[in-house]
Structure formats: structure tokens, C-alpha cells
Structure 1
Amino acid sequence: MVPREPGTAAMREVAVAAAEAAGSLLWSGRRDHAPEVRGKGLDGDVVTDLDEAAERVIIKRIRAAYPDHTIVAEETGVHEAGGSRWTWLVDPLDGTNNIAIGLPVYVVGIALCRDGLPLVGVVHDPERGQTWSAIRDVGAEGPGGARAVPAAPRVSAAPLLAWTQGHEVSRGDPRARALKLALEARSRRLLQLWAPLVSWLMLARGDIDGFVGYRAEAVDLPAGMLIAQEAGLAVRDLRGHPFDARIGRPAEDRSFVAARPELLDRILDWVQAGHELERELSAAWPPGE
């Protein structure tokens, strides 16, 4: 197949080159010195000097290739460019909290959207030296250029799942707690990696069976989700409806269930059980009591 949008293949190459250049900086920087860690916001999130350096590398490369495109970057926000219909989303280091504690679980994520709809997604893993990418309606590619496909169904009766939630979701959020309880009780394991793009890659590779997100972060969601969808995974909202992937939607519309098609209904049933558990807990312990 060939890209349906003229120039899309070239745009993917720019994104791949930018992600890999940033990944090289992160890989060498993590070994050269202990990262400088600072608090970011009021929710306990952090940022390091490596995030900022990698972001500068990516923005410079995108701006050189497409000076009229808008860029939305994790650390420096919106870089406007004349109301362009093209928007790049840049997460220079997804997994900053892991880096801060010396855990080498992180990736670089870049997505390109046209009129708000993700068209290109790239995720680079510096530790593995692997890059995954996708173009909407064309397919996903993994390391070595091989087209990515979901793994065969696992023998285990209990699927292995991953979980993510947005930074602004509090520890006591009743829906998040109920959903996690329901999923943990029914799955073989519920992974919480502090790096959602890593979970998307694991899903696309077949390392895990499903991925559930609650009020997911806006910048890193499109790249990973597009790769998973183009690799043949199904993605729905928490009610089981087709997921609206357009950017700019509020946090409550960025909750999702992703899985191989044959497992999707089963995991959605578990999500529904989480909603029922939330109502039961609310009835037993009303707010303020």
C-alpha cells in the first residue's frame, strides 16, 4: 500500500529521525550524568534536563522540515505557526518518573495530526534501539521495517493488562480506584509502568493482552494508539463505542480500552464491573461521611 496523504511517508521519516536523535541524546545522557530532576506542577510530576534537551532536538528538526506547522510539546507547550492544519505532538521522554528513580523504562513519542486527527505516530525505545511507526490506514511498522501484527491469543485464561491514568487524576478518584480494583481482580496482572507509550508498544508487540486508560494524557496518547490500531488492535471508549481520536478533546473523553479484537468484549465487561463497583462503594460510603 502507499500513503493516502501526499507526503505522509516523508513526514513519518522526519518524525522517525527526530525521535531517534532525541533517543540517542537520552541514552547517552542517562549514562553520562545523573539527571537533574525538578518538580513540575502540583500533582507530583517531575521534569529533568534530559526531557528539555530532547525536546529541543525534536522541535528543531520538525521546524526545519515544516516551518509552517504547529507544534505542541510536553515541556514548552504550544509553538504556533500561522493557524496550520498540521499539528505535531511531542513527548520527548515518556517515563520521566522512571528515569528519576533510575529505572530505564522510557521512550520518545511523536505524533502528527491533520485537522486534529492523528495521521502519523512514532515511538522510539532508546534502551532497545527500536522504533515503531504507523500511518493511518496504511499500517504499522516495527524494528527492521517489518509490519507489526498482534500476537496469537495467549494460553492463559486470565489476560495480562496495563493501566494508565492522567497526571491530574487524584489517588482517591473513585472511578479510577474502582476500575483498577475490578481489573486487578480479574486479570493475571495489571501493569502500571509510568510510561503509557511503553504499554502501547507492548500491546502492539503482543507482550500484553490489553490496555486500559482513564483520562489519559493528551500529548502521548495519539502516537501509541495509532500504532496499536494500525497493528490490528481494537480501541474503544469505556462504554464500548468507537474511540474518537481527535486531539483537543477534554480529559473525560480520553479514557479507553485497547485489546486484540477477540478479547475486547471481555475486558469491556470488566470495565462495566468497575462502574458497578464504584456505585456500590459510593452507596456504602457517601461523600463526606
Structure 2
Amino acid sequence: MMQNSSYAPYLDTALHLLDEATALIERLTGARIPTRKADGTLVTQTDQAVDELLAKRLGEIYPAHAVLSEERTTTYDPALRFTWVVDPIDGTTNFARGLPVWGTSIALLEWGVPVVGAVGFPSLHETFSASKGFGAALNRLPIATAGDRRVDSQHFIMCCTRTGRRYRVDTPLKPRILGSAAYHLLKVADGSALAAIEATPKIWDLAAALLILAEAGGVVQPLSGRRPFPVPARAGDFRTHSFPLLAAANPDILAAVSAQITEIGN
């Protein structure tokens, strides 16, 4: 792999493209009416327009790189060294219904491993970023996970809407559902929450957020199946593949919360 310092230009590109995406979203103020995709999730014209913009711009800047995204190309080509992973709007239901917790996620994989990640939440004025080996930031200021080593009722655990259907979680931590997989993980990264459970996240939900979490000191454990990264060195379509996981501020919290989770079904 390249020296870590060489990732800086890629991170600058990702942050610049977040600004371009935000500008487009602001222009498309009437394009929030959702339709339902084949998998039952919602999509808006804005999702599709942002996806198209980012794929086009990345192709112009890095013609030798691949782009894997939620709304366009969902297949991974292991023959290519670099692959950008894009989620044009994480939290589409929030976006479509007028809640402010939604954002755009951009990550760069090198041989299937995230090395750059940037996630912007325009309505919240929060932009998270990281490059491998250089720590994590919120609005360009360093962040770190919480230092607490015990779970109690004065801290949060972030959950997705499907968590309660698939897992019983017997923890004193207070649950919070904010409607964005990336934001849930990033709230662990910045120390707001001690843990997060995502029952059905896709690779584009995770690519940037997990790098930022790791660079902030967080840890992750699969709840079933394999870890999302590194991506296996074989071609694959990620449209229907999920990566259930538990994220935590540190190994002690991970062990404590993991022992409090029981799978109950689909």
C-alpha cells in the first residue's frame, strides 16, 4: 500500500465533492418525493442526481478508479486497486420526510480496504473525515471515542429500526434511533454514544463510517457473517448483501454489550 501521507489528496477530493453534493441538494429542493425500490427501501430523485454527480466527477478526476454506489453500480471489481464507495444520501427516509439526520458518504478503498472516508450532514453542519493512519476529525477538529469502560444508564447505544426485530438487547444503555447507519456509527466515533447496533447495513453505509470510527479508536464485531472489510478478492454484487455489526467505543464496551445481545430472528 501507499504511504499514509499519500492519501491526503484523495481526502481533499472527497471533502470537495461533499461540498458539490450539498450544493446540488440545495438546488433540488423539490426533489424529495420518495419511490420504493425493489428491496423495499426508499429513493428520491435527489439520491439519484447526487449519485450521478459523484460518479461523473470521480470518473473525470480518477478515470482509472472504479465507483461502487447505492443507486448505480453495486458490483465490486477486485482487479482494480482503487474503488470509491458512494452513498448519495444515507438516511433517505429522514430526508424525504423532513428530518435533518441525513448525509452523503464518500470512501476510497485500496485493494478492498477503506483508506479515506468523508461523511457530511449538511442540515446538522457536521462533516466527519479520516484517512488511514492519521486519525479522525469532525469539522476538521480531532475526535476520539469515549473513554468509559463500563456501560450504564447515563450513556447511549445507537440502534437501527430493525434492531429490535432481530436482536434482544439487555443493556442499561439508553437506545437512540436517528435513522442513518453512518450517523449512528459516527456518534460512537465522536464520543456521543458508547455503542451502535446495525442489523442490515450495506457496504456504502459502512465504508467511510467504519474507517472514521477505527481512526477515532472504536472497534467493531460482526453479529453474523463476515466483516465487510477487507472486501474479498473476488467480484461481487453488494445490492442485497448486509453486514450486521456491533460497534463500540473500546474493547471493554464491545465485550460488555456483545454479552447483552441475543439474536431472536429476522
Give the TM bin, normalised by the shorter chain. 0.7 to 0.9
CA contact (8 A) 1:69 1:81 kept: no
Rounded Cα–Cα distance in structure 2 between residues aligned with 1:73 and 1:252: 13
Specify the alignment match of 2:137 in structure 1.
141
Determine the structure 2 residue equivalent to 1:256.
Answer: 245
Unpaired runs of at least 5, structure 2: none
Q: Is the 8 A contact 1:70 1:83 kept in 2?
A: no
Matched, 1:247 2:234: no
**Counterparts of residues 150-189 of structure 1 (less than 5 Å):** 150-153=145-148, 157-158=152-153, 159-164=155-160, 177-179=165-167, 182-183=168-169, 185-189=170-174
- TM-score under structure 1 normalisation? 0.78
Equivalent residue number for residue 215 of structure 2: 230
Quick one: which of 193, 198, 201 aligns to 1:208? Answer: 193
Contact 2:35 2:44 in 1 (8 A): yes
Q: CA deviation at 1:195?
A: 1.1
What's the TM-score, normalizing by structure 2?
0.84
Report deviation, 1:110. 0.8
Does structure 1 residue 131 correspond to structure 2 residue 127? yes
Runs of 4+ in 1 over 4 A off after TM superposition: 78-83, 241-244, 248-253
% identical aligned pairs: 26
Contact 2:159 2:175 in 1 (8 A): yes
Change (3 A) 1:105 1:84: same
Q: Deviations over 1:10-50 (max 9, x none)?
A: 01111111122112322453xx325232111142x111111
- C-alpha displacement of 1:214: 2.3
Higher helix share: 1
Q: Which residue of 2 aligns with 1:22?
A: 21
Whether the aligned pair in 1 keeps the contact of 2:158 and 2:197 (CA below 8 Å) is yes
Aligned-partner Cα distance in 2 for 1:194–1:128? 14
Q: Deviations over 1:239-273 (max 9, x none)?
A: 8x9955223588787222111113111101112xx
Q: Is 1:40–2:37 an aligned residue pair?
A: yes
Distance 1:80 1:42 in 2: 19
More contact order relative to length (CA 8 Å, sep ≥ 6): 2
Query: What count of residue pairs does the alignment treat as equivalent?
Result: 257
Partner of 1:218: 203
> Contact (CA 8 Å) 2:78, 2:112: kept in 1 or not?
no
Give me the whole-angstrom Cα distance separating, in 2, the residues matched to 1:23 and 1:244.
Answer: 27
Distance 1:258-1:56 versus aligned 2 partners, 3 A rule: same
Is 1:110 the counterpart of 2:106 in the alignment?
yes
One-letter identity of the residue aligned with 2:203: A
Counterpart-to-counterpart distance in 1, 2:188 and 2:99 = 20
Q: Is the 8 A contact 2:219 2:248 kept in 1?
A: yes
